[in-house]
Structure 1
Amino acid sequence: MFKIQENRPNCIHINLIPNAKFLTGHYTMKVYATELSWRITPYNTQRKVSLLALILILFAFIHLLTNNCQSPLLFRYFKTSDVRGIALEKKCDIFSGNWVPHPEEPYYSNESCHLMIDQHNCMKLGRPDKEFMNWRWKPNECELPLFNPAQFLELVRGKSMTFVGDSVGRNQMQSLLCLLSSVAYPEDISHKYSSNTDYFKRYFYADYRFTLAIFWSPFLVKSSDADPNGHSLNSLMNLYLDEADEAWAKEVENFDYVIVSAGQWFFRPLIYNENSKVIGCHKCFIKNMTAVTKYYGYRMAFRTAFRTLQSLKNYKGITFLRTFSPSHFENGDWNKGGNCARTRPFTSQEMKLEGYAMEFYLTQVEELRAAEKEGTKRGLKFRLLDTTEIMLLRPDGHPNQYGQSPHKNVAVNDCVHWCLPGPVDAWNEFLLYMMKTEGQRSLQGRL
């Protein structure tokens, strides 16, 4: 019926032969005709009951062992739906699907949206191909509604939304500004709140009393320069993993929607501090300093960010974790001539989630699940805006050399940010879908 193998430490593998079947996580056993032909006697009945009890105990034991051996971390790659399935209700998984051709014009263009910045304005800066704009995300089991700007603005009437994170978070905010531009243009009120209006932006849609903001915080936690030569693209920095960055922590309390994200900055050399003490570093090459992985720093940054949100007395907002956005450098690292010149998406057969992208993704999701569980005690909502796997398939969506002015003396290609319009617009389709879902849940709860 089965045999047990110990193929790797602390994990037992059970191989079932064809007479045993798997049905939704439970085991069933084919009953043979010879067993059915037993005569019914007190002895045989007792024997059958004992045998059945042993079989049930054995299958429960097998079920426990196999469940304990199925952590995604043990596989070379996996599908993000395996993780999401733990908490998703039996509804359509909008994050599982494929990019499909979409010949219609995009929602906006660099000519129709006057809020686009040059970093994302690939067409203005000379990108010759346009096919990257003609793909749309199609979930496997349902239709993802088109982004409806009027509907979005009605949902957020009298409310506020902020993006907390790095420049990829701003990339999503710029997409949202352009998606809404066919209905309304906001007033830029950034100067009323910050002297650093390049990184801290606020917009106000007066007709809807809606505020949209970005708090630039690439590590989510407090940071400072540690390189004696000054700040540069890859200079050494201090991270204080148990202290939230006040740039957002002091401002976010009264926002209704908070979209948190971070990623690429954690690859640079970093010295980690906790409890006002240095605990080690990542890629710093300092003598006698303990090496600590970037994954540890990443985990603690999100843990601190989520716990900070939970600790804010007046915070009643919905927190969305927008998951890690992979880069697509080929033919070299980002600072060694790497580029991203592809003009079509990958298929799910060509590219799988693995390596550092998988580790970053799993780290985020684990911290979100812990925050979600703790947040329910205060009535706080933490939601997963899962973009990692879908963006892994879009090497064609980056600016590459078309995300900077050709007159600037910069040799680094941009394979981190995303062209507008482009695949990043799907993030806001997801966001609107999830906001509507939250509204439906709230209504059902009141009813």
Structure 2
Amino acid sequence: MEEKDKVFTEAGEDHIAEKPPSLREAEGDPNQNVEQSLNLTSQGVAEGGQEDENTPEVGDKQEKLPNLIDMEEKDKVFTEAGEDQTAEKPPILREAEGDPNQNVEQSLNMTLQGAAEGQQDDENTPEMGDKQVCNYAKGKWVVDDSLPLYSGFDCKQWLAPGWACRLMQRTEFSYEKLRWQPKDCKMERFKGDEFLKRMQGKTLAFVGDSLGRQQFQSLMCMITGGLERNDVLDVGGEYGLAVPENGRPDGWAYRFPTTNTTVLYYWSSCLSDVERIDPEDPNTHYAMHLDRPPAFLRENLHRIHVLVLNTGHHWNRGKLSANRWVMHVGGVKNTNKRLSTMGDLKNFTIHSIVSWVNSKLPENPQLQAFYRSISPRHFSGGEWNTGGSCDNTIPMSIGKEIVDEESKDYSAWHAVQGTGVKILDITSSSKLRDEGHISRYSLTAKRGMQDCLHWCLPGVPDSWNEILYAQIK
């Protein structure tokens, strides 16, 4: 069965937090400010992420072998087997020696200190040539009768049936007709042939969770217009994504031969390297290295021209327990009390992966790197397993315009400050689109359960790709 709608299996919290005062105006003793920043950031995320204690969602089971993860079923069980234990560490940990806990303290301080220093540039709006760079997160939803860019009845070559709401019980589809229009700047309309020309001889890679996979499938449908393309090549084997004999791959890679353009997706729900603690034990726990990027990125970054990272909804203790993940930092089990909450762990990992990618930009001048902000959930009256729902089908009932200049995903915004990694900020605009979720319409959903996390396609993720397209050089 394709996807099973991922039967609502990402019950993480949005973690949309206010910026700590200590990072708004960092003054006085830098060390004191960094200490306050860490404490306030951790506190804010912990308070905003109480749902991290949720039990595992429906269908979560631990697969015996990482390469047998059912990626189109119940959110896979997120057990990417990491490789190459001697991989280069992010700059914040590269020189760390001695007491592991002391090293974590140093890396935490350096991470937040760097982010605080990076905020000094916020007063200056970056420019591209003689034009200001658009704030794509600020704007409004407008009705566009030329949409959607592909049919939800078609695109079966790329689109999982569990996300194609036209094939479900839903009867209202006005959500397909909304386009995101940034304020004070024009955003070029997406055209598949123009995308391929712009990406001629290049590779675009999505690395993240099932929301990243939705964006990947959306883009494939947008490029092809939902039409069958027998000329498109499956090149997953070139990236180690060949289909196992009795399972599904860790991702997909497709190449358009007319322009030699490759679009791929790699599953990494937490953007960390994950490896078996005991390779000989089929029931082993897994070391989840928060400061080590996935082996896939370490091995393939030099081949990628546009990279889109995301994580967020898997940072809850239910999933960690179900997947037998054990947090590691600096090559050893994490015992640092400052990395004790899900919010702390997630933020540290986001900073680590962004820092690592940023450190690789000088030797990969071809690379444009984006960190996509979190895709919001819209459960009302409960959670995925307690009667939570998103029954609204009327577009823009919450509102249609975003006027805020600042991102509502503070973790992502904070991580990219002072780096060459851009934020692909889709949180606020998507927050207005509660009618766009799969909701109760899935043919495979259990009674009383709704999917208020994943989106109908075509739908909201198409707008994410339009914003991405506008920024690809």
- The alpha-carbon distance between structure 1 residues 85 and 132, as it changes in their structure 2 partners (threshold 3 A), is farther
Q: State the partner residue of 2:250.
A: 199
Separation in structure 2 between the aligned mates of residue 308 and residue 291 of structure 1, nearest angstrom: 19
Q: Once the 2 structures are TM-superposed, how far is the Cα of residue 429 of structure 1 from its aligned partner?
A: 0.8
Q: Once the 2 structures are TM-superposed, how far is the Cα of residue 428 of structure 1 from its aligned partner?
A: 1.0
Q: Does 1:334 align with 2:384?
A: yes
- Aligned 1:196-275 pairs, distance under 5 A: 197-223=248-274, 239-269=288-318, 270=320, 271-275=326-330
Separation in structure 1 between the aligned mates of residue 397 and residue 391 of structure 2, nearest angstrom: 17
Root-mean-square deviation (CA, aligned residues, Å) is: 4.2
* Equivalent position to 1:413, from 439, 442, 450: 450
- The alpha-carbon distance between structure 1 residues 429 and 351, as it changes in their structure 2 partners (threshold 3 A), is closer
Separation in structure 2 between the aligned mates of residue 413 and residue 206 of structure 1, nearest angstrom: 40
Deviations 1:373-415 (A, max 9, x none): xxxxxxxxx2221101111111111112334x43x76864221
- Aligned 1:386-405 pairs, distance under 5 A: 386-403=425-442, 405=443
Structure with greater strand percent: 1
Q: Is the 8 A contact 1:216 1:247 kept in 2?
A: no
Q: Does 1:308 align with 2:356?
A: yes
- Aligned 1:357-372 pairs, distance under 5 A: 358=408, 361-372=409-420
- The alpha-carbon distance between structure 1 residues 300 and 87, as it changes in their structure 2 partners (threshold 3 A), is farther
What is the SS of the residue equivalent to 1:223?
strand
Q: TM-score, normalised by structure 1?
A: 0.66
Separation in structure 2 between the aligned mates of residue 294 and residue 396 of structure 1, nearest angstrom: 29
Q: TM-score, normalised by structure 2?
A: 0.62
Separation in structure 2 between the aligned mates of residue 402 and residue 84 of structure 1, nearest angstrom: 43
What is the SS of the residue equivalent to 1:143?
coil
- The alpha-carbon distance between structure 1 residues 324 and 414, as it changes in their structure 2 partners (threshold 3 A), is same
- The alpha-carbon distance between structure 1 residues 249 and 414, as it changes in their structure 2 partners (threshold 3 A), is farther
Q: Does 1:295 align with 2:343?
A: yes
Separation in structure 2 between the aligned mates of residue 207 and residue 134 of structure 1, nearest angstrom: 30
Q: Once the 2 structures are TM-superposed, how far is the Cα of residue 338 of structure 1 from its aligned partner?
A: 1.5
Deviations 1:317-363 (A, max 9, x none): 11011111111111211222222111134467699999xx94xx212
Separation in structure 2 between the aligned mates of residue 362 and residue 290 of structure 1, nearest angstrom: 19
Q: Give the fraction of aligned pairs with identical amino acids, expressed as a percent.
A: 24
- The alpha-carbon distance between structure 1 residues 432 and 351, as it changes in their structure 2 partners (threshold 3 A), is closer
What is the SS of the residue equivalent to 2:301?
coil
Deviations 1:22-54 (A, max 9, x none): xxxxxxxxxxxxxxxxxxxxxxxxxxxxxxxxx
Q: Once the 2 structures are TM-superposed, how far is the Cα of residue 168 of structure 1 from its aligned partner?
A: 0.5
Q: State the partner residue of 1:110.
A: 152
- If asked which structure has higher relative contact order (CA below 8 Å, sep 6+), I would say 2
Q: Is the 8 A contact 1:279 1:290 kept in 2?
A: no
Q: Which amino acid aligns with 1:329?
A: F
* Equivalent position to 1:144, from 187, 193, 200: 187
* Equivalent position to 2:333, from 236, 254, 278: 278
Separation in structure 1 between the aligned mates of residue 383 and residue 401 of structure 2, nearest angstrom: 19
Q: State the partner residue of 2:234.
A: 188
* Equivalent position to 2:220, from 164, 174, 177: 177
327-336 or 142-151: which moved more? Answer: 142-151
Gaps of 5+ in 2: 1-20, 24-39, 49-120, 321-325
Separation in structure 2 between the aligned mates of residue 174 and residue 421 of structure 1, nearest angstrom: 10
Separation in structure 1 between the aligned mates of residue 448 and residue 287 of structure 2, nearest angstrom: 27
344-353 or 163-172: which moved more? Answer: 344-353
Radius of gyration: which is bigger?
1
